[in-house]
Structure 1
Amino acid sequence: MSVDEPTEDAPEAYGDLLDQYRQISYLNDASGVLGWDQQVMMPEGGTPARAKQLSALSSVTHDLMTKDEFADALTAAEDAVDDFDEGQRASVREIRRDYDRTADVPRELIEELAETTTESQQIWQDAKADDDFEMFAPRLEKLKDLSNRRANHISPDQPSYEVLYEDSEPYLPLERTEEIFDRLKSELVPLIDEITEHGDELASPFAGGEYPEENQQALSEAALDLIGYDRDHGRLDASAHPFTSGNQFDARVTTRFKPDDPIDALTATIHEYGHASYMLGLSKENYGTPLGSSLSSGVHESQSRFWENHLGRTKPFWEFFLPTAKEHLDGIDDVTVQEAYEAVNRIYPNNRIRVEADELTYHLHIILRCEIDRAYVEGDLDVEEIPEVWNQKMGEYLGVTPDTDAEGCLQDIHWTSRFAGFQGYTIGSVLAAQLDAAMRKDVSDVDDKIRNGNFQPMRDWMNENVHAHGQKYPTDELAEEATGEPLTADYFLDYVNQKFTDLYGL
């Protein structure tokens, strides 16, 4: 199958623009492979060379997008846009957006930011291992300075935090996201308090055991095979922080293992599979173009949260999957489906770690990060104040204070690559619930299908209603195409209220 097919019958101006844009996309994907390798396979000593390699690639892609020939092709396509179909017009819109966020940023700044980002990942990993925030702080300051400078070049009259936020969430205004956050904060905190004070005690059958990494690895591999991960186009590895990297031809997932908690790796693996399912569901014919690319971090997270929470944490899933878990994990032969279901849905308000957080308190972790992130980028918080403010907010929102910076402000890798990016996790959870509700109207007997290990109908629904559109629709329009209404928090709040009220006997 040729990835060039869609332009063969397209207007000439559109084809000329895509021919150039594809080359930029291919180079960006090559950078992604180098980034994956750095976090998974590369020896620690390779960082200096990798930083130079990624800096060079960023320079080449910047030059390709800012050269006169590209600007001329973009202008010609915009002049002929009335002759284009809806998808072609959307592609031009997205390419224009990319161009406007690149053209005025100096190449030297792009190179320095790419090199600094690459170097910072190893520094962060070392600082976390040594519980030494002071080791990471100077690098965090440099990243903030470079990111703010880039934002000022892109849109000098706009607050830099908003500009950086639009890197990952271009079509959902920051004000709208904050309204959703305020609503979740006001409704989740009372629910969490009610559970803590009056909820039943849930089972914890996996606690207290020791689960070798090789057994957990085999369990995660089995889960991916049963769900339907395409091994011809993906692989599973371990990394310091779980992530997914790739495209519709090559979507790789990673996880991490805790000796005393096999559910952590399992849910992380299913979560990352959700990201991979989005990538693998994108149009292969449109690879390298906006119609073959994911829309935003929030939409991406909707796919990972859908698979993790709306499938992997359901009782029907554990009716199906528990026998497999018992094959790979020692000491759980007597665990029942109900006990496993309760265990994967327990809330832990005193948990300090975001990636281990339950479905409710998770969003307080996100809100905390967004507040610190914004205050720091906008200059209202000094770098040396971050650990103290982090701990204060943990105490305020979750009633627990980290014992170390490694389990506090150093726990996430995200600041090594970008600022203003945490919002997507909560937006994704909200959208996932809305998509799940719509899917269950279209697909019959979803729970029965999960119970029998038939995941293809759910994957097909997501492929048709989300993945196949690429960047054709802005966020609200995509939500409306898929569910019949723009993004709303109603479905998420209805879902968690019903689920956790039932679970905890409230």
Structure 2
Amino acid sequence: MATEREQVPDAYDDLLEEYRRATYLSDAGQVLGWDQQVTMPEGGTPARSKQSAALSAVQHDVLTGDGIAEPLDELDEGDLPQPGAAVVREVRREHERSARVPRDLVERISEEASNALPVWEEARAEDDWASFEPVLETFVELKREYAEHIDPDSDPYEVLFADYEPYLSLDHAERILERLRDELVPLIDAIRESDVDLALDFDGTYDEDDQMELTRDALDTLGYPWEHGRVDTASHPFSTGTQFDARVTTRFDESSPVSALGSTIHEFGHATYTLGLPEEEYGTPLGKNRGLSVHESQSRLWENHVGRSRAFVEGFLPRIEEQFPGLDLDAAGLHGHLNRVNPSNLIRVEADELTYHMHIILRFEIERDLISGDLDVSEVPAVWNEKMEEYLGVRPGTDSEGALQDIHWSHGSFGYFPTYSLGSVMAAQFFEAAQEDVEDLYEGIREGEFDALHDWLTGNVHRHGQRYETNELVERATGSEFTADAFLDYATTKFGDLYDL
């Protein structure tokens, strides 16, 4: 009887060889992006934009060239054993979408993104929306053109969303977002009316070097492998890399000693997913993440279900007190502080676990209207402020606190934002399943033992790469299709207890 490997035709090996080249080029581009946001001198942008555009163009050429097209013509995933069939499915999808987009458009989008980064950084620092308007106008036009090339008969925003979440429909995403809006807004209103106050007041300033030491200790505690990563600061925290090199960034607020814990643990979640992908599959779809919804589920799981848990706070509090000996903290108070709901907060990356989703919904609605042509770029700040007032009862005083706060539009990343809420919802479903399978999970977290959780996530999520479509991956890991049920049950119980509702 032939083995599974013997059933794979030569064209499959040819396909993987060429596809790996495209992956390596894409990963090299990520390193250039990391360098631009972390270490590159301010004056380096003109050269970096050309370098990034050239890499994107070459990667596009490989992905759309005969070296991939010809083997795909010979292969039918229906005739291949798994996981080869999944590999061909993923390469075919990526090849076909890329082949519809002209090379010069790919190059221009990449170059515009590199040039846009310092413009956005200065506009945010100077509270100057007008200086960023031309950048956003250009990206709206370019992304409409991009979507038109890929599928002229579809909603262009849906085409863009599929770049980040290929296997959940935009309708599915909208249903989840609508359910979150319908069920979280009343919960947030009830919390606003509660007499419970969970905020802590920190006096003085807390040195960034001291906070970085605490950040590194948190990463040590969680099991971040320094031989495969590093931590730096960035204006907008992010993680990037491969299963061999997954770097994280964070940022600090000197008015709070624990300001960076949430963002650091969030980015650790991204990195641990990347590092959990199978090393032997690097360069192939089986060595790539499933998509941004699943990626975000890993970061939100670690940030919220672990980092904001009472068990983690109790275990890590002695290290906080050691780093900042003047603090007068107890586990109950710090746990409450880390989970306080603050509807008046204007900044998404500083938002609590509930109001966070209103920030996502707000930007999603604005993006959708921008791409459809129902909203002009010049109108964005006013619409942003109106929606903040409608959903959270607050109004930004500056555009730096409003429409300029996030980096994503300077990348042209339309369609990205729904994955933040989808990932948060998915995180609750994954963690609920992990609790059922791992005995005394929270006791292990309290003791600083995270191997069992790492193993569960690696075994059920990370090691599969792109073998399964999103909903199948969730169903295999949890036994249920992807819904908002677990998240809403978790949120209602957790915040009901915290706020005596």
Q: TM-score, normalised by structure 1?
A: 0.96
Deviation, 1:77, is 2.2
Question: Who is 2:142 aligned against?
Answer: 146
Matched to 1:173, the amino acid is S
What does 1:213-252 align with in structure 2 at a 5 Å threshold?
Answer: 213-252=208-247
What does 1:260-275 align with in structure 2 at a 5 Å threshold?
Answer: 260-275=255-270
Deviation, 1:262, is 3.0
3-state DSSP of counterpart to 1:252: strand
| Cα distance in 2 between the residues matched to 1:174 and 1:69 | 32
Question: Who is 2:254 aligned against?
Answer: 259
Deviation, 1:472, is 0.7
| Cα distance in 1 between the residues matched to 2:405 and 2:329 | 32
Gaps of 5+ in 2: none
Question: Who is 1:22 aligned against?
Answer: 20
| Cα distance in 2 between the residues matched to 1:113 and 1:188 | 37
Q: Retained in 1: the 8 A contact 2:14–2:67? A: no
Task: Using the aligned pairs only, state the percent identity.
Answer: 53
Match of 2:415 among 401, 420, 423: 420
Deviation, 1:24, is 0.3
Match of 1:430 among 425, 437, 440: 425
What does 1:155-170 align with in structure 2 at a 5 Å threshold?
Answer: 155-170=151-166
Question: Who is 1:180 aligned against?
Answer: 176
Deviations 1:29-74 (A, max 9, x none): 0000000000000001000000000110111111112222321111
What does 1:30-69 align with in structure 2 at a 5 Å threshold?
Answer: 30-69=28-67
Deviations 1:181-219 (A, max 9, x none): 1111111111111111124122415x3331110111111
Deviation, 1:331, is 2.7
What does 1:50-449 align with in structure 2 at a 5 Å threshold?
Answer: 50-78=48-76, 81-205=77-201, 207-332=202-327, 334-417=328-411, 418-449=413-444
3-state DSSP of counterpart to 2:205: coil
Question: Who is 2:455 aligned against?
Answer: 460
3-state DSSP of counterpart to 1:434: helix
3-state DSSP of counterpart to 1:264: coil
| Cα distance in 1 between the residues matched to 2:429 and 2:204 | 37
| Cα distance in 2 between the residues matched to 1:82 and 1:496 | 42
Alignment CA distance shift 1:7-1:275 (3 Å): farther
Matched to 2:492, the amino acid is N
Matched to 2:374, the amino acid is D
Deviations 1:345-378 (A, max 9, x none): 0010000000000001000010001001111111
| Cα distance in 2 between the residues matched to 1:395 and 1:180 | 22
Alignment CA distance shift 1:8-1:120 (3 Å): farther
Q: Retained in 2: the 8 A contact 1:168–1:296? A: yes
Alignment CA distance shift 1:82-1:189 (3 Å): closer
Deviation, 1:330, is 4.6
Deviations 1:304-351 (A, max 9, x none): 00000000000010110000111112531x210101101100010000
Q: Retained in 1: the 8 A contact 2:343–2:392? A: yes
Matched to 1:109, the amino acid is L
| Cα distance in 1 between the residues matched to 2:266 and 2:70 | 42
| Cα distance in 2 between the residues matched to 1:344 and 1:212 | 20
Deviations 1:415-441 (A, max 9, x none): 112111100110001000000000001
Deviation, 1:273, is 0.1
Q: Retained in 2: the 8 A contact 1:211–1:330? A: no
Deviation, 1:75, is 1.2
Deviations 1:365-402 (A, max 9, x none): 10001001111111101011000000000111111111
Deviation, 1:83, is 4.5
Alignment CA distance shift 1:33-1:7 (3 Å): farther
Gaps of 5+ in 1: 1-5
| Cα distance in 1 between the residues matched to 2:195 and 2:449 | 33
Deviation, 1:9, is 8.4
Deviations 1:258-293 (A, max 9, x none): 111233311100000000000000010100010000
3-state DSSP of counterpart to 2:439: coil
* Total equivalences in the alignment: 497
Q: Retained in 1: the 8 A contact 2:7–2:81? A: no
| Cα distance in 2 between the residues matched to 1:260 and 1:53 | 39
| Cα distance in 2 between the residues matched to 1:147 and 1:46 | 26
CA root-mean-square deviation = 1.3
| Cα distance in 2 between the residues matched to 1:276 and 1:47 | 26
Matched to 1:369, the amino acid is R
Q: Retained in 2: the 8 A contact 1:17–1:77? A: no
Deviation, 1:99, is 0.7
Q: Retained in 1: the 8 A contact 2:27–2:241? A: yes
Question: Who is 1:3 aligned against?
Answer: none
| Cα distance in 2 between the residues matched to 1:311 and 1:60 | 41
| Structure 1 residue ranges, 4+ long, deviating more than 6 angstroms after superposition | 6-9
| Cα distance in 1 between the residues matched to 2:122 and 2:8 | 51
